[in-house]
Structure 1
Amino acid sequence: MADIEKYSEATFENIRHTNEYGQEFWYARELQQALEYSQWRRFEETIERAKTACLQSENSIEDHFANVGKMVSIGSGAQREIDDIMLSRYACYLIVMNGDPRKQIIAVGQTYFAVKTRQQELVDNYDQLTEDQKRLAIRDEIKRHNKSLAEAAQMAGVETSLDYATFQNYGYMGLYGGLKAQDIKRRKGLKKSQDILDHMGSTELAANLFRATQTDEKLRRENVQGKDAANRTHYEVGAKVRQTIAELGGTMPEDLPTPEKSVKQLAREQEKQLKK
């Protein structure tokens, strides 16, 4: 599992792009290098097999494989245009499933894109999910948004790891009626090393997702500057989410039950099912 996380961050996540509509995509030329294909011609053969699989699945090739031109440097400041393809996550999944099975990175890519594709399916069909599936989907969203929140906090002046831990505590205190992370862990019976977010039900996770996204947007929108101001902003947003829960007659997050299985346990079980 550690290898998969390592490669997904360093190899696949780092070459993921987002267009102006918020849609993610990968460039085939970059994926070729990531999957260790030295020749474009050989990689094109894999792409063609993936396109065939796409058609056989009754999906439109144009929706997942978009031909584009790309300018590359050829030395002395000169450039020339080469063919490239914008790939959807599903297209990448089909490519790695049709790749050279002898390559270790192909095996890692198969697991990575299979899991990510399944997670997106869960998000797209949220109303039909079980509680465990909702937890997996929301937790994945929080991971993505926490990266953006960390960036916004850093821009505001939250620089060190200790600063960020303090910043996060202010958000928790606002949402949990004054409880810090360590207090929440104590209530949940967790160890210091365990991640609070991995031990929340879907309702509690959703409240924390809203806290994170709204704090992120507020920090950026109002160009908040200074650690104290950032901490105060996070606390205020958390408190506002708590107030909204109270006004709707909901259960306070600290009073919600702690699930028996962690999100990490659920993810491992899901991964085993995908491999089967």
Structure 2
Amino acid sequence: MSEVIKSSSQSFEEIKHFTEDGIEFWYARELATVLDYRSWDKFTNVIEKAKDSCGNSGQDIEDHFSRVGKMVELGSGAQREIEDIMLSRYACYLVVQNGDPRKEVIALGQTYFAVKTREREIEEEFEQLNEDQKRLAIRNEMTNHNKSLAEAAHMAGIDHPKDYAIFQNKGYQGLYGGLGVKDIHKRKRLKKSQKILDHMGSTELAANLFRATQTDEKIRRENIKGKSVANRTHFEVGQKVRKTIEELGGTMPEELPTPEKSVRQIEKELEKKKVLVGGKE
């Protein structure tokens, strides 16, 4: 008979552990509980699929899936050892990607671990950059991904500028707790000609970048068709990113400070420095 796992309302963040070296990991049995898998045998099937995905991506499976033994207390007060698996962040991401898509918590898990993975990538890539450089890099990436998102939206049936504006507004509303483009613009005290993305810090830009990339991928992956469905998809992705920020204990995007300089001002200053340096040479 399959071993039964008790359900729990714990979040992905609450069950995170750290090694002595400060490396984060998750126990498979605790993750199974949060993902609402009541049978350990069924969950190990998901883990095996995740291992296959890990191997196919060229990663060392042992680096991400490490078998361990844990002592648990029985009802009688006695203890016995059970098998468990230490999962890396990447392993957890692969597990939720291979989980039951009908479970709402699986979708939340996909967003959570994708956000965590992207967050770490950004940390590693931008470790040596100052805030202005981070803003420039993410803003440029946002520009490129917005082009891809616009293409995906067009494929879904959004082929007029007015409809695309509505589509974009839905994404902001999901991420900003109901606030649309005009609301955010007003909150940041911007002029009509100023773009809100140019007046965001790196953290706020990163949240919007993730909203855009995930919506783009979801529309393409699920071959979404129709304006209303595409709009709802953008809104729901924004909502899920917002929930993840909340779960991580982060600041809601509408509460983040507006930088004194715009991205365009930073670009002009850098260009001016290049000209001065070129003149000296």
Specify the alignment match of 1:175 in structure 2: 175
| Cα distance per residue 1:119-176 (max 9 Å; x no partner) | xxx9985111100110000000000000000000000011110000000000000000
Q: Distance in 1 between matches of 2:197 and 2:167?
A: 16
Q: Deviations over 1:17-37 (max 9, x none)?
A: xxxxxxxxxxxxxxxxxxxxx
CA distance in 1, matches of 2:123, 2:152: 25
Paired with 2:213 and 2:191, the residues of 1 have a C-alpha distance of 27
> 2:163, 2:180 → 1: CA distance?
14
Who is 1:206 aligned against? 206
Instruction: Using the TM superposition, give the Cα deviation of residue 274 of structure 1 relative to its aligned residue in structure 2, in angstroms.
Output: 2.2
Separation (CA, whole Å) in 2 of partners of 1:123 and 1:143: 20
**1:169 corresponds to which letter in structure 2?**
N
User: Counterpart of 1:153 in structure 2: which amino acid?
Assistant: A
CA distance in structure 1 between the aligned counterparts of 2:163 and 2:125, rounded to whole angstroms? 37
Q: Do structure 1's residue 140 and structure 2's residue 125 form an aligned pair?
A: no
The residue aligned with 2:247 is 247
2:11 maps to none
Ranges in structure 2 where 5+ consecutive residues have no aligned partner: 1-121
Cα deviation code 1:29-75 (max 9, x no counterpart) = xxxxxxxxxxxxxxxxxxxxxxxxxxxxxxxxxxxxxxxxxxxxxxx
How many percent of aligned residue pairs carry the same amino acid?
70
Supply the AA of the counterpart residue of 2:168: Q
What SS does structure 1 have at the residue aligned with 2:194? Answer: coil
Distance 1:176 1:123 in 2: 23
CA apart distance, 1:188: 0.4
Deviation at 1:271, TM superposition (A): 1.3
1-side partners of 2:150 and 2:262: how far apart? 24
Structure number with the higher helix fraction is 1
Alignment of 1:76-95 (within 5 A): none
Mapped partners of 1:194, 1:123: distance in 2: 28
Q: Does the 8 Å CA contact 1:174/1:239 hold for their aligned counterparts?
A: yes
Q: How does 1:66-105 map to 2 (within 5 A)?
A: none
Task: Show the counterpart of 2:265.
Answer: 265
Q: Is contact 1:182–1:192 with CA below 8 Å preserved after alignment?
A: no
CA contact (8 A) 1:167 1:234 kept: yes
Instruction: Note the aligned Cα RMSD (angstroms).
Output: 1.5
1:267 deviation in Å? 0.6
User: Which residue in 1 is equivalent to 2:74?
Assistant: none
- For residues 220-231 of structure 1, the aligned pairs below 5 Å read 220-231=220-231
Q: Secondary structure at the match of 2:269?
A: helix
Tell me what 2:153 maps to. 153
1:123–1:137 Cα contact (<8 Å) kept: no
Contact map agreement 1:172 1:238 (CA 8 A) in 2: yes
- Indicate the residue corresponding to 1:217 in structure 2: 217
The alpha-carbon deviation at position 270 of structure 1 amounts to 1.1
Alignment partners' CA distance in 1, 2:142 and 2:203: 13
Distance across 1 between alignment mates of 2:246 and 2:217: 23
Read off the aligned partner of 2:151 and give its amino acid letter. E
Q: Matched residues in 2 for 1:211 and 1:273: separation?
A: 33
Query: How many corresponding residue pairs?
Result: 155
- For 1:238-276, what per-residue CA distance to the aligned partner results, in whole angstroms no more than 9, with x for missing partners? 000000000000000000000000000001111122232
SS at match of 1:194: coil
- Partner in structure 2 of residue 128 of structure 1: 128
Mapped to 2, the partners of 1:164 and 1:243 lie a distance apart of 25
SS in 1 for 2:158: coil
Which letter maps to 2:146? N
| SS of equivalent residue, structure 2 residue 155 | helix
Query: What's 1:7 paired with?
Result: none
Matches within 5 A, 1:21-36: none
- TM-score w.r.t. the length of structure 2 is 0.54
Superposition TM-score, scaled by structure 1 size: 0.55
Measured in 2, the distance between the counterparts of 1:207 and 1:221 equals 21
Aligned equivalents of 2:179 and 2:200: distance in 1? 15
Residues 123 and 149 (structure 1), Cα distance of their counterparts in 2 relative to 1, 3 Å cut = farther
CA distance in 1, matches of 2:144, 2:268: 19
In structure 1, stretches of 5+ residues that fail to align are 1-121
**After TM superposition, what 4+ stretches of structure 1 lie above 6 angstroms from structure 2?**
none
The one-letter amino acid paired with 1:145 is H
